[in-house]
Structure 1
Amino acid sequence: MGLQPGPRPDIQRPADDNSHTLRRLAVHEAQDLSPFVADFHRWWCRQRGFTGNRLLAKSYVRWDPLWALRLGAVLFWLRFNMESSYDSLETHLDATEPYASIHLNLFSQGLGSPGIVPLERWQALTTSRATRTGQIVGVARHAYPADPGSTLRYQPAFAPLPPRHPLPARRRSTRWTSSSDRQPRITG
């Protein structure tokens, strides 16, 4: 899984110094954490006084938590634009409270490969599951998946989405539990 069996001293020491219990999340694939993280972000949005009804689903290397925090949005990470990522998002949307808005950005790797989900299916998923707005942002429909410009359009695509909120102040942790059925294995 990429980590040593025991906690690293540089992590364990500050946890011990602050009376925190150190826990490890173990997953088979990084994408398996997405429902767990989305549940956390929805809870955190609501703790901040927002509805938690806006979902930002992003793929591959496009991960910008500051946009989500400023928009008061829930994050959902997709490994790529392939069938397994589509299934992961669809499963999450089936299992959670509906979102009013779903904004999806897909990484375009520059060529059509076997297993890539067509843009029309992604669009149908976002529009059918959002109670208000489902949209794909920053992707040129005529060029997908061979759209190298999508990397340059990624951040500007989120710029017009309102509203803007200040970044949250740093605070001590609060107890939270996930309602996701696909929780990672927690050890510690």
Structure 2
Amino acid sequence: MKKLSLLALPLMLAACTNTATPQVGMTPSINGADITVDVTVTYDDTGTPTSISSLTTTTQPSVNFNVAPSSLGMTLTGYDVKVVDSSGTQFAGIEGQYSRAFSARVAGGYACKTGTAVDYATDQCDFANKVPYARTVQVGQIPLLVDAISEEARDMYVSAFPDEMCPTLRMNVTFTGYDDLNRVITPITVTNAPIQVTCNTK
């Protein structure tokens, strides 16, 4: 019996140490990034351009996180962005890659139970009252596009006038932060998120 007990002890310890540690399980999406370049050209009586003026409008993208059931929540602390053109080359030189601090909490993959009722709006409750729940968290518009990107898109189009040279752009974004257990998360990356660039001349 003593030998059996000694053999059983390591197995019990192994079972305890193999318990899975809760992790963050989230997939982000980035949509709605938009740069619009409006160029106005003035001509003389012979049809020769005499002046060119331009206006650039930038719309920041919306960021959502699809959260898996039982995922830990996380707090975002920043992001890294690299903007590339259609060939995959970094756009706007060194201005096309940058990092920014940012703070927002993304709720975890749980809802909270009170008796027989479940509150799907929050994940903030004792673990005994948590129910696994898949959710989509809308973080909202985040300033992922800096002015230098919009200005380079404008300059490229204006300098090529009268040819059409409106760039095709995408962004690679990596989010950083920590989870609800205060552990630094593995960076979460979105690759080739579209940037709609529209160029108009009148």
TM-score under structure 2 length normalisation? 0.20
More helix by share: 1
Q: Which has the larger radius of gyration?
A: 2
More strand by share: 2
TM-score under structure 1 length normalisation? 0.21
